[in-house]
Amino acid sequence: MNASSIVTIALTDPGEGLTEAEILEIKVAVGDRLEINDPVVEVETAKSAVELPSHVAGTVVEVLVAVGEEVLVGAPLMRVDTTGGSAPSPAPAAPSGAAPEADPSAAELSAQATEQAAEQAEGQTEQPDAPSEGEGAPAAQEPKNLVGYGERATGTRRRRRRAQPAQPAAEQQVPIDRILAKPPVRKLARDLGIALHDVLATGPEGTVTRQDVLNAQQRSYGAEPAAHDGAGAYFPEESPQAPEHLGDVMKTTRDQPFSGVTSDERTTRVPIRSVRKRTAEAMVASAFTAPHVTVFNEIDMTGVTRIVSQLRASREWADVKVSPLAVIAKALLVAIRRNPEVNASWDEDAQEIVYKHYVNLGIAAATPRGLIVPNLKDAHLMTLRELAEGIGELARTARAGRTSLRDTRDGTITITNYGVFDIDSGTPILNPGESAILGVGAIKEKPWVVDGRIEPRRVATLSLSFDHRLIDGALGAELLRDVSAVLEDPSLGLVWG
């Protein structure tokens, strides 16, 4: 190997105007063989988790980052030997008392490694661990390594890690070298303040399971891991070690080695990063740029819930996850068609109002990384079935952290559904660059006057926030009135649509 064959893989911008990213997972180790386009790291950006590929083929000789690090665009991630050879192993230690030898050549290192491997395979010899300092071994007898390789334990590949707090021997766990975990498991670990690196994986091929995370959480409170109760709750009700409030959960973050979290008995400090950071910037810019106005309306949603129930029972809709949100989206699109002036944006530089003849409908999604708003392109052309399928796909992609940059750009109007949290109403903030956002509260059974009689009905509160530079009070009220009318009498969608 010569210096000219070593190529550095650096952090590149995946297309979001990125300046920095957090390392979520390192997918290779020293000695691994890479092909072009093989993923090398997974990073968290402002929108999602992204795998970055290698632009060269070769053998990994050094990993320069650790999981949890914030890395600037352009910073080196790892070094790759493009000659195609494997990363050489360290030379064996010289016998005790022998004079120090000069560094062997790469060919000699390869020959020594080959001979040693053959001896181990035949059971003739076993390479002993090199004596450490303080055990009588002079410094001159330490194994010699090529620059940048570092020592590796025989038969084990490890990537560089930050120092972790020492644990009692009885509580030590083997850290996972390559973290394999599904997005819901990652979310659970984050919610509980459990570092995946410290979880003992029991799933196939070293995959971290939900129960593994729950077991780690139980250990953090000094309890023996309990069998999974199938309830899906983070803290089983019968567990006396379960924390009683968020502060107890956050205490576990003090032992996270890579997250940058610091904690004491009264406070926990978490760095503002990625999605949360960008969301905060966008919301502050929106709140102090666009003058917000919010109007509310409580409506009878019984017709909507009846339609949803009928569709769910229909054989033709068996493969579609239909929810009231799809019907609400359709009602909003019908109302925009009747009030097209609301679908606009304010161009401060050009001093123009831009009226748009298309609707890219944003769906606010709560994810483990924070709030993001992907949008359905040209939603005004979609049928109810297409809206239901599109909303479902956006939600799945967002929660998996795979939302593309294209899906978050060029939105025109947004729906946010805080009813899923059993909240009745709110005053949502506009997504930057958009004219309005429709908030949907929880659908609850309430007494309602129908033809002079009081009946139990399914009722919800809608709230519409809009940019008062673009939409005056009368236009905003008309838009919300039309949305409400279609939802209370869905047959109007056929007439107005």
- Verify that 265 and 201 share a domain, yes or no: yes
Residue 143 lies in a domain: no
- Verify that 342 and 460 share a domain, yes or no: yes
Tokens of 447: 């007494």
**Which band of pLDDT confidence, cut at 50, 70 and 90, is reported for residue 443?**
very high
Residue 188 lies in a domain: yes
Active-site position among 245, 357, 380, 468: 468
Lowest mean pLDDT among 49-58, 65-74, 99-108, 240-249: 240-249
Query: Residue 18: what pLDDT?
Result: 64
- Verify that 330 and 451 share a domain, yes or no: yes
The Cα-based distances of 325 to 179, 410, 414 in angstroms read 35, 21, 12
Is the pLDDT score of 120 beyond 50?
Answer: no
Residue span of the structural domain in which 310 resides = 276-496
Task: Read off the pLDDT of residues 24-33 as tens digits, 9 standing for 90 and up.
Answer: 889 999 999 9
- Verify that 415 and 320 share a domain, yes or no: yes
Q: How many CB atoms lie within 10 A of CB 348?
A: 9
> 82 in helix, strand or coil?
coil
> What CATH code is carried by the domain that includes residue 10?
2.40.50.100
pTM: 0.55
Tokens 């910073």 label which residue? 75
Is the pLDDT score of 391 beyond 90?
Answer: yes
Q: Which of 174, 173, 171, 213 is nearest to 191 (CA)?
A: 213
- Verify that 409 and 299 share a domain, yes or no: yes
Q: Is 468 one of the annotated active-site residues of the chain?
A: yes
Provide the CB-side half-sphere exposure for 119 (13 A, CA).
11
Q: Tell me how far apart the alpha carbons of residues 189 and 185 are, in angstroms, rounded to a whole number.
A: 6
**Which band of pLDDT confidence, cut at 50, 70 and 90, is reported for residue 298?**
very high
Determine the distance from the C-alpha atom of residue 234 to the mean position of all C-alpha atoms in its chain, rounded to a whole number. Answer: 19
**Which band of pLDDT confidence, cut at 50, 70 and 90, is reported for residue 108?**
very low
- Verify that 192 and 294 share a domain, yes or no: no
Tokens of 70: 């914030």
* Amino acid letter, 280: A
Q: Tell me how far apart the alpha carbons of residues 80 and 211 are, in angstroms, rounded to a whole number.
A: 37
- The domain boundary, picked from 53, 81, 109, lies at 81
Query: Residue 44: what pLDDT?
Result: 75
The Cα-based distances of 282 to 287, 347, 432 in angstroms read 9, 17, 6
* Amino acid letter, 1: M
* Amino acid letter, 7: V
Asked if 210 and 234 count as a contact pair (C-beta separation under 8 A), the reply is no
Lowest mean pLDDT among 24-33, 148-157, 273-282: 148-157
> 436: exposed, middle or buried (C-beta count within 10 Å: 0-12, 13-18, 19+)?
buried
- The string of DSSP letters for 392-453 reads HHHHHHHHTT---HHHHSS--EEEEEGGGGT-----PPPPTT-SEEEEE---EEEEEEETTE
Lowest mean pLDDT among 90-94, 198-202, 290-294: 90-94
* Residue 319 vs residue 96, higher pLDDT: 319
> What CATH code is carried by the domain that includes residue 361?
3.30.559.10
| Pairing assessment for the beta strands 361-363 and 413-417 based on DSSP bridges | parallel
- Verify that 67 and 210 share a domain, yes or no: no
Q: Tell me how far apart the alpha carbons of residues 53 and 36 are, in angstroms, rounded to a whole number.
A: 7
Task: Read off the pLDDT of residues 161-199 as tens digits, 9 standing for 90 and up.
Answer: 443 444 444 334 434 345 787 767 777 777 677 777 778
Is the pLDDT score of 413 beyond 80?
Answer: yes
- Verify that 337 and 267 share a domain, yes or no: no
- Verify that 405 and 302 share a domain, yes or no: yes
Q: Tell me how far apart the alpha carbons of residues 370 and 186 are, in angstroms, rounded to a whole number.
A: 13
What is the sign of the dihedral through the CA atoms of 124, 126, 130 and 135? negative
Is the pLDDT score of 354 beyond 70?
Answer: yes
> What CATH code is carried by the domain that includes residue 217?
4.10.320.10
Is the pLDDT score of 255 beyond 70?
Answer: no
Task: Please report which residue ranges of 124-209 form alpha helices under DSSP H.
Answer: 183-192
Mean pLDDT of the chain: 74
- Verify that 205 and 280 share a domain, yes or no: no
Residue 102 lies in a domain: no
What percentage of the chain exceeds 70 in pLDDT? 66
- Verify that 254 and 291 share a domain, yes or no: no
- Verify that 313 and 441 share a domain, yes or no: yes
Residue 36 lies in a domain: yes
Residue 30 lies in a domain: yes
Residue 133 lies in a domain: no
Tokens 């560094």 label which residue? 103
Q: How many CB atoms lie within 10 A of CB 3?
A: 6
Mean pLDDT in residue range 269-279: 72
Is the pLDDT score of 389 beyond 80?
Answer: yes
Residue 93 lies in a domain: no
Phi, psi of 113 (to 5 degrees): -65, -40
Task: Read off the pLDDT of residues 459-496 as tens digits, 9 standing for 90 and up.
Answer: 999 999 999 999 999 999 999 999 999 999 998 888 88
Query: Residue 79: what pLDDT?
Result: 92
Q: How many domains does the chain have?
A: 3
Query: Residue 51: what pLDDT?
Result: 83
**Which band of pLDDT confidence, cut at 50, 70 and 90, is reported for residue 42?**
confident
Q: Which of 159, 190, 165, 151 is nearest to 367 (CA)?
A: 190
- Looking at residue 266, what DSSP letter applies? S
Task: Read off the pLDDT of residues 212-253 as tens digits, 9 standing for 90 and up.
Answer: 887 776 665 444 444 433 332 222 333 333 333 333 333 333
**Which band of pLDDT confidence, cut at 50, 70 and 90, is reported for residue 1?**
low
Asked if 362 and 374 count as a contact pair (C-beta separation under 8 A), the reply is yes
Query: Residue 171: what pLDDT?
Result: 39
Q: Tell me how far apart the alpha carbons of residues 53 and 80 are, in angstroms, rounded to a whole number.
A: 13
Is the pLDDT score of 431 beyond 60?
Answer: yes
Q: Tell me how far apart the alpha carbons of residues 189 and 196 are, in angstroms, rounded to a whole number.
A: 7
List the beta bridge partners of residue 58. Answer: 34
- The domain boundary, picked from 245, 271, 297, lies at 271
Residue 242 lies in a domain: yes
- The domain boundary, picked from 32, 60, 81, lies at 81
Is the pLDDT score of 284 beyond 70?
Answer: yes
Most confident of 140-144, 170-174, 374-378: 374-378
Mean pLDDT in residue range 276-292: 79
Q: Tell me how far apart the alpha carbons of residues 53 and 19 are, in angstroms, rounded to a whole number.
A: 18
